[in-house]
């Protein structure tokens, strides 16, 4: 399969949107384009599986290498492995859902959808790039649309949030850029990931470069204490914006931490592994406790994201193969779950015009579909078996436990403790919003989800359930990649 | 060999009921949901009983030893090459016994609810939830892998949450459902860590292999697990202890019991099913499942289990004497009876005669399920009739509700351990096991059985005797046959189940345990039980002031017991004061002011620096000339003096 298709489809979609005459055309174009992309991602999954079954044990599949700038040794090197495919699938699902959930946008529809698709394009490119400069290019492409999406279509203190988000992410990018420059000289003027993974980088240089990459990408994925853009950014963003931030942007960071920082610099990872473990177990518990105090649903979900993403960073710091698989599973699970959670919050907000937990109540009676989805998402968040969160968290715990020293054990136990705190805040919020007597007379006439919202919710739920009920396929998809990275760490 | 299809069907039929009624119920089964659910469960029950028959009488016993079969197993999630979650079905003497208990009680509740929940606007949802619960509980029972058990364990928790909060418009129901979920979740956290510990050292998650490795002193896994210590206890002990913590939470053992009385907010048939007969015994089942590990490798933990059980039994019994809500009395009684099962486990050893406690515990689980479900369903009929849970609104109901009265009386006699009803035999075995191993626990147990007889008959007399009934006249009678049939069937069970030679079917090592019956030994417990009944009769058969006088004389103790020894308040203090005010609030503050403050400060500082150096770009040629000159001088100094 030609991977360039994955870039061409969103590009054509984005350009077609610019040519559309009215907002209906725009919406349908965006919808059609994102569905085609989702189908492509699924086809890619099946083609990949077929190749693997046929015995192809290559590290990268469907590779292409196009020279862009000969003098800089810059190659457009693309390819996929199981990890990238899982990320592509996640992105494609979130994009379709995001497009559907934005169906009611009236303000500058064309620009809005153009930016959404552009952001997605950045993510698709990022996940298939195997040249650091190209990867960086796509990372940056995905930042700018966020600024506009929040700044123009956002709510509340949106200018502040947009500035904060973009500046913090830019700071991360700057660190990554410095890291890439370092790599450029170490790697003999070649920043191809595969090339860099084949040369031995001296340990002392790894120790300098690793923090640059890990913190740089970490900012994107709310690495404690660089997480403060998350609550403000999410709460100001429009629904699709929050979904994309949680479902796509934060995953760029996690993927980068693994694919670039840990994969290329295993010695650095070993050096700083304990620091990562400490910071992320703090993030998990601390995030959970801060979440408990939130009264605004979007803030609640944003802080809960900090806590949940903490699991994948914790697992990365644990440096065992199971933990790395778990980290990736948690990224996928968190992406689907949080995107859907934000969507539900958006649906509730559209109807009741409030996001404050204490102003809501008894919505189960008027919106059975929406509140059922809220329940399922909440249960996924607190790790109920049968849903994706459980599978991911358990893989993280089992993987973490394989480090048999007291330090790692204590960190794991601390992290596991959050399953109790999570239950507290999720049940408080969900119980208050959905259950109890109807809080406001005016809510009695509200309507339940419409077709677009139902379809979008079902797509994301399908993802959550397919991982939760039959986790084997995702595990098989992620394990080979995790094994390669693990071999780098153990030095095989 | 076991018939795999049957067993899969037993498990899946309730799940099908859940899916069917949950997804399509509102549209297509709004009135027939009960019948659909009940029929599906009826098939499951018949298949479960057939499986039990086949297991115990056809293929299960090979050369006098009950074997354990795993007729189905597939890999669900692989963690490492040796550790994976393999979904499987385990068929052995305890799982088959539980299959029968769970499906039968669930069927009774399904039938009973046909009448009890009639006309409820969410009738189909109710049956869907019942199906989900039954499925989860059966999954828990059949789990062949400790992680699989944990999965269904959590599902049981969530179905219990859904059913307690079924009347979701009632704030108290919402609060109770949250409390139940969170408290058991806390216990499950221990369970999870316990699983991690055991599976790490056992290097497997499958029960059979795990038990085999962790009980064989010569195996490498066992040696490693015993030699690694943390805070003075071996890893194995920690693992077993933490796993038991999960069991204690689900089984409402002190001090993790606080959710159970509140769980009575759910519809009464649900209380009968979940909070009396099936889910709450999950902890006992867990201990039974891992019994060889507890008994052979970590006797310390097993002794602890015994004490936890004994303490729970007596505390719950004391509290039950003071409660006035009939469902709460029954809830505490449940806790007390499960305490009996737990300490029976605790005073047991593995194998042969020494394993009497194990058999007794599961025997009591079996009989208790029957008479406790009966008590709850009877209480449901009473509540249905009086529209109140309070004892003070009842009295004199024996003529108005003859069937309920009779069956309730039988159940009370059974739970009080009166011969020849079911409770007598199982309790007798427990007391005997306690007597042989631990005299103090035996004393506590004896005291508790006296209290049990007292509070059960306090309940019985207050409902059916005491003062004449003052409420509205009986306009709808006792309830239709759907409500009476389960009462009668369960009553038959409560009367006759004791005659089952349980030791021939369930024992710690799979060999037949002959349970001799000691007449002389049973004199004391029966006399104590009779004394309890007699005191209750004096106090409550007629409306008297004796109870109030007594309560006044021991006011301090009475108040403490009435307020459930203030454990709830303690929890409230921990959650509200410590978790929210001492941890949550400061963290939220820290995040807003310090961490985010630094971010904002960085921005402000950057901005002010920019403001400062902005002035240098003034556009005035003169000042540029000065900068130029200063630069030249600086360079000159640099070149001349430093190089």
A44-82: burial string, b at 16+ Cβ within 10 Å, e else = bbeebeeebeeeeeeebbbeeeeeeeeeebbbbbbbbbb
- Interface A:B, Cβ pairs < 8 A: 125
What are the residues facing B91 on neighbouring strands?
B69
Residues of A in contact with B154 (CB under 8 A): 383-385, 390
* Mean local confidence (pLDDT), B238-257: 89
- Per the CB < 8 Å rule, is B196 touching A228? no
Specify the pTM: 0.90
Taking contacts as CB-CB distances below 8 angstroms, the residues of chain B near A406 are: 230
| Closest residue to A436, CB basis, from B76, B171, B603 | B171
Q: Which among A165, A171, A284, A290 is the top mutation candidate for probing chain B, defined by the most B β-carbons within 10 Å of its own β-carbon?
A: A290
Does B409 contact A at CB distance below 8 Å? no
- pLDDT score, position A326: 93
Closest residue in chain B to residue A378, using alpha carbons only: B158
**Model pLDDT, residue B387:** 81
Of B78, B151, B585, the CB nearest to A475: B78
Q: Which of A379, A401, A420 sits opposite B189 (nearest CB)?
A: A420
Q: What contacts B344, CB < 8 A, 6 or more positions away?
A: B309, B357, B358, B360, B361, B364, B429, B430, B433, B434
Q: What is the ipTM of this complex?
A: 0.90
Query: Chain B residues with CB inside 8 Å of A385's CB?
Result: 150-152, 154-155
Question: Is residue B473's pLDDT more than 60?
Answer: no
Under the banding of pLDDT at 50, 70 and 90, the label for residue B476 is low
Does the pLDDT value for residue B474 go beyond 60? no
pLDDT at B471: 66
Quickly state the pLDDT bin for B516 (edges 50, 70, 90): low
Residues of chain B numbered 104-163 and touching chain A (CB < 8 Å): 147, 150-152, 154-155, 158, 161
| Residues whose CB falls within 8 Å of the CB of residue A143, separated by 6 or more in sequence, listed in order | A122, A166, A169, A170, A173
Which among A168, A386, A479 has CB closest to B599? Answer: A168
What average pLDDT does this structure show over B471-486?
72
Q: What is the pLDDT of residue B257?
A: 86
Q: Alpha carbon B364 to chain centroid distance?
A: 16
pLDDT value of position B526: 85
Tell me which of B602 and B333 has the higher pLDDT. Answer: B333
- Compute the nearest-CA separation of A430 from chain B (Å): 10
From the candidates B583, B600, B602, which should be mutated to test the interface with A, based on the most A CB atoms within 10 A? B583
Per residue in B21-75, pLDDT (tens digit) is 888 877 787 778 888 889 999 999 999 999 888 888 888 788 778 888 888 888 8
pLDDT band at A340 (very low <50, low <70, confident <90, very high): very high
Determine the residue of chain B that is closest to A324 in CA distance.
B79
What are the chain B neighbours of A439 within 8 Å (beta carbons)? Answer: none
A382 neighbourhood in chain B, CB within 8 Å: 185
Residues of A in contact with B587 (CB under 8 A): 286, 289-290, 293
**pLDDT confidence of residue B324:** 83
pLDDT, one tens digit per residue, over B328-360 is 888 899 999 999 899 888 888 887 778 888 888
Q: How far apart are CA A124 and CA A122, in angstroms?
A: 6
How close is the nearest chain B Cα to the Cα of A15, in Å? 36
Q: Does B75 touch chain A (CB under 8 A)?
A: yes
Angle at which helix A321-352 crosses helix A451-469, to 10 degrees, equals: 160
* Contact (Cβ atoms closer than 8 angstroms) between residue B187 and residue B249: yes
Predicted confidence at residue A458, as pLDDT, reads 92
User: Which candidate in A420, A439, A478 is best for mutational testing of the B interface (most B CBs within 10 A)?
Assistant: A420
Spacing of C-alpha A275 from chain mean position: 23
| Per-residue model confidence (pLDDT) at position A450 | 83
Of A21-25, A255-259, A390-394, B618-622, minimum mean pLDDT range: B618-622
- Contact flag B79-A322 (C-beta cutoff 8 Å): yes
Chain A residues close to B155, C-beta within 8 Å: 384-386
User: Which chain B residues contact residue A416 at CB under 8 A?
Assistant: 189, 192-193
Three-class SS of chain A: CCCHHHHHHHHHHHHHHHHCCCHHHHHHHHHHHHHHHHHHHHHHHHHHHHHHHCCCCCCCEEEEEEEEECCCCEEEEEEECHHHHHHHHHHHHHHHHHHHHCCCCCCCHHHHHHHHHHHHHHHHHHHHECEHHHHHHHHHHCCHHHHHHHHHHCCCCHHHHHHHHHHHHHHHHHHHHHHHHHHHHHCCCCCEHHHHHHCCCCHHHHHHHHHHHHHHHHHHCCCCCCCCHHHHHHHHCCHHHHHHHHHHHHHHHHHHHHHHHHHHCHHHHHHHHHHHHHHHHHHHHHHHHHHHCCCEHHHHHHHHHHHHHHHHHHHHHHCCHHHHHHHHHHHHHHHHHHHHHHHHHHHHHHHHCCCEHHHCCCCCCCCHHHHHHHHHHHHHHCCCCCCHHHHHHHHHHHHHHCCCCHHHHHHHHHHHHHHHHHHHHHHHHHHHHHCCCCCCHHHHHCCCCCHHHHHHHHHHHHHHHHHHHCCHHHHHHHHHHHHHHHHHHHCC
pLDDT at B472: 65
**pLDDT of amino acid B191:** 93
* Ranges assigned E (strand) in B342-458: none
Whether B313 contacts B251, CB under 8 Å:
no
- Across A218-222, A447-451, B419-423, which has the greatest mean pLDDT? A218-222
Which contiguous run of DSSP H or E holds residue B30?
Answer: none
Q: Would the CB atoms of A423 and B583 count as touching at under 8 Å? A: no
Residue of B nearest to A321 (CA): B80
Q: A-chain residues within 8 Å CB-CB of B196?
A: 397-398, 401, 412
Query: Which residues does chain A have within 8 Å of residue B171's beta carbon, measured at their own beta carbons?
Result: 436-437
- CB pair distance less than 8 Å for B182 and A424: yes
Asked if B181 reaches chain A (Cβ–Cβ under 8 Å), the answer is: yes
A-chain residues near B185 (CB < 8 A): 382, 419-420, 423
Q: What SS3 state is found at B88? A: strand
pLDDT of residue A258: 92
CB contact under 8 Å between B584 and A290, yes or no, is: yes
Contact call for A419 and B165, based on CB within 8 A: no
Say whether pLDDT at B623 is over 60. Answer: yes
User: What residue of B is the nearest CA neighbor of A229?
Assistant: B596
Residue B77 and residue A417: Cβ atoms within 8 Å?
A: no
> pLDDT-based confidence at B643, cuts 50/70/90?
low
pLDDT in tens, B203-221: 888 888 888 888 888 888 7
Closest-CA distance, B184 to chain A, in angstroms, reads 9
What's the mean pLDDT in B282-310? 89
Of A290, A385, A409, the CB nearest to B154: A385
Dist CA B509 CA B67 (whole Å): 10
Closest Cβ opposite residue B599 in set A228, A394, A404: A228
CA distance B193 to chain A (A): 7
Residue with more model confidence, A305 or B599? A305
| H helix and E strand count, chain B | 27, 6
Query: Which chain B residue's Cα is nearest to A320?
Result: B80
């Amino acid at each position: 399969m030609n991977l360039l298709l994955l870039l061409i489809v969103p590009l054509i979609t984005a350009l077609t949107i610019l040519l559309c005459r009215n907002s209906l055309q725009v919406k349908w174009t965006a919808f059609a384009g994102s569905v085609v992309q989702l189908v492509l991602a699924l086809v890619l999954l099946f083609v990949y599986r077929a190749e693997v079954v046929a015995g192809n044990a290559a590290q990268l599949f469907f590779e292409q290498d196009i020279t862009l700038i000969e003098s800089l040794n810059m190659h457009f090197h693309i390819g996929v492995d199981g990890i990238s495919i899982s990320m592509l699938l996640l992105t494609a699902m979130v994009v379709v859902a995001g497009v559907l959930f934005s169906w009611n946008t009236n303000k500058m529809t064309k620009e809005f959808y153009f930016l959404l698709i552009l952001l997605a394009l950045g993510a698709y490119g990022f996940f298939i790039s195997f040249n650091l400069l190209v990867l960086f290019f796509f990372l940056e492409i995905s930042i700018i649309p966020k600024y506009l999406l929040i700044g123009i279509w956002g709510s509340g203190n949106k200018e502040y949030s947009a500035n904060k988000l973009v500046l913090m992410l830019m700071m991360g990018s700057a660190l990554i850029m410095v890291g890439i420059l370092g790599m450029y000289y170490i790697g003999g003027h070649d920043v191809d990931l595969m090339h860099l993974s084949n040369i031995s980088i001296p340990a002392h240089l790894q120790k300098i470069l690793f923090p640059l990459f890990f913190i740089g990408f970490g900012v994107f994925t709310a690495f404690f204490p660089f997480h403060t853009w998350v609550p403000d950014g999410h709460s100001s963003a429009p629904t699709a914006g929050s979904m994309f931030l949680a479902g796509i942007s934060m995953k760029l960071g996690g993927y980068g931490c693994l694919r670039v920082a840990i994969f290329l610099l295993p010695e650095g990872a070993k050096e700083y592994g304990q620091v990562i473990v400490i910071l992320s177990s703090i993030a998990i518990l601390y995030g959970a406790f801060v979440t408990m105090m939130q009264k605004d649903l979007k803030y609640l979900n944003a802080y809960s994201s900090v806590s949940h993403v903490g699991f994948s960073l914790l697992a990365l710091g644990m440096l065992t193969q199971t933990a790395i698989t778990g980290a990736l599973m948690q990224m996928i699970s968190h992406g689907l779950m949080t995107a859907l959670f934000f969507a539900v919050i958006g649906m509730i907000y559209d109807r009741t015009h409030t996001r404050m937990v204490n102003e809501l109540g008894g919505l189960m009676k008027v919106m059975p579909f929406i509140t059922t989805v809220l329940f399922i998402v909440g249960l996924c968040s607190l790790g109920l078996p049968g849903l994706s969160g459980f599978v991911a968290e358990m893989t993280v715990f089992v993987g973490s436990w394989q480090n048999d020293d007291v330090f790692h054990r204590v960190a794991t136990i601390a992290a596991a403790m959050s399953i109790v705190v999570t239950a507290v805040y999720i049940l408080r919020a969900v119980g208050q919003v959905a259950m109890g007597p109807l809080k406001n007379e005016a809510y009695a006439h509200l309507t339940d989800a419409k077709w677009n919202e139902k379809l979008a919710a079902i797509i994301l739920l399908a993802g959550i359930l397919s991982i939760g009920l039959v986790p084997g396929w995702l595990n098989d998809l992620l394990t080979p990649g995790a094994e390669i990275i693990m071999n780098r760490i153990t030095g095989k | 060999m076991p018939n795999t299809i049957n067993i899969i069907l037993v498990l899946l039929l309730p799940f099908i009921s859940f899916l069917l009624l949950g997804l399509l119920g509102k549209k297509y089964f709004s009135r027939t949901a009960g019948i659909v659910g009940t029929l599906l469960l009826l098939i499951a029950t018949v298949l479960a009983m057939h499986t039990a028959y086949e297991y115990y009488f056809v293929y299960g016993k090979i050369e006098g030893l009950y074997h354990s079969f795993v007729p189905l197993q597939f890999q669900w999630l692989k963690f490492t090459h040796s550790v994976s979650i393999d979904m499987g079905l385990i068929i052995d003497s305890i799982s088959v016994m539980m299959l029968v208990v769970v499906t039968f009680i669930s069927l009774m509740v399904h039938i009973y609810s046909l009448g009890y929940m009639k006309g409820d606007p969410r009738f189909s949802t109710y049956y869907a939830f019942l199906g989900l619960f039954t499925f989860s509980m059966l999954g828990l029972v059949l789990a062949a892998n400790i992680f699989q058990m944990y999965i269904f364990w959590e599902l049981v928790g969530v179905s219990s949450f859904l059913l307690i909060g079924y009347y979701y418009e009632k704030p108290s129901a919402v609060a109770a459902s949250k409390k139940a979920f969170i408290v058991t979740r806390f216990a499950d956290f221990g369970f999870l860590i316990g699983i991690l510990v055991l599976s790490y050292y056992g290097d497997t998650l499958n029960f059979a292999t795990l038990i085999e490795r962790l009980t064989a002193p010569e195996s490498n896994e066992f040696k490693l697990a015993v030699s690694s210590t943390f805070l003075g206890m071996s890893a194995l002990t920690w693992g077993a202890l933490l796993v038991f913590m999960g069991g204690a939470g689900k089984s409402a053992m002190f001090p993790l019991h606080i959710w159970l009385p509140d769980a009575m907010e759910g519809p009464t048939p649900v209380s009968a099913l979940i909070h009396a007969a099936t889910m709450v015994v999950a902890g006992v089942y867990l201990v039974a499942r891992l019994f060889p590990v507890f008994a052979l490798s970590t006797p310390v933990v097993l002794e602890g289990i015994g004490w936890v059980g004994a303490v729970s039994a007596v505390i719950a019994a004391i509290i039950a004497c003071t409660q006035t809500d009939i469902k709460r009395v029954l809830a505490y009684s449940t806790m007390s009876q499960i305490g009996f099962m737990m300490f029976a486990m605790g005073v047991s050893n593995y194998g042969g005669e020494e394993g009497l406690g194990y058999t007794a515990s599961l025997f009591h689980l079996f009989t208790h399920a029957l008479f406790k479900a009966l008590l709850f369903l009877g209480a449901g009929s009473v509540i249905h009739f009086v529209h109140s849970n309070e004892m003070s609104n009842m009295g004199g109901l024996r003529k108005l509700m003859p069937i309920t009265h009779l069956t309730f009386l039988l159940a009370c006699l059974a739970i009080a351990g009166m011969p020849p009803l079911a409770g007598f035999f199982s309790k007798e075995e427990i007391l005997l096991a306690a007597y042989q191993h631990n005299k103090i626990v035996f004393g506590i147990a004896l005291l508790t059985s006296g209290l049990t007889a007292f509070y059960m008959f306090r309940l019985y007399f207050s409902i059916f005797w005491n003062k004449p009934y003052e409420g509205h006249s009986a306009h709808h009678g006792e309830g239709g046959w759907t409500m009476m049939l389960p009462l009668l069937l369960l009553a038959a069970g409560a009367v006759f189940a004791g005659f089952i030679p349980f030791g021939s079917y369930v024992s710690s090592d799979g060999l037949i345990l002959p349970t001799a019956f000691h007449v002389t030994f049973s004199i004391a417990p029966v006399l104590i039980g009779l004394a309890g009944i007699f005191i209750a009769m004096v106090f409550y058969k007629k409306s008297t002031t004796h109870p109030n006088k007594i309560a006044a004389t021991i006011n301090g103790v009475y108040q403490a017991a009435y307020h459930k020894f203030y454990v709830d308040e303690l929890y409230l203090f921990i959650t509200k004061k410590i978790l929210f005010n001492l941890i949550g609030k400061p963290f939220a503050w820290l995040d807003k002011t310090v961490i985010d403050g630094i971010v904002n400060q960085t921005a402000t500082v950057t901005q002010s620096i920019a403001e400062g150096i902005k002035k240098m770009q003034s556009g005035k040629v003169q000042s540029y000339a000065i900068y130029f000159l200063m630069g030249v001088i600086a360079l000159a100094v640099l070149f001349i003096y430093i190089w």
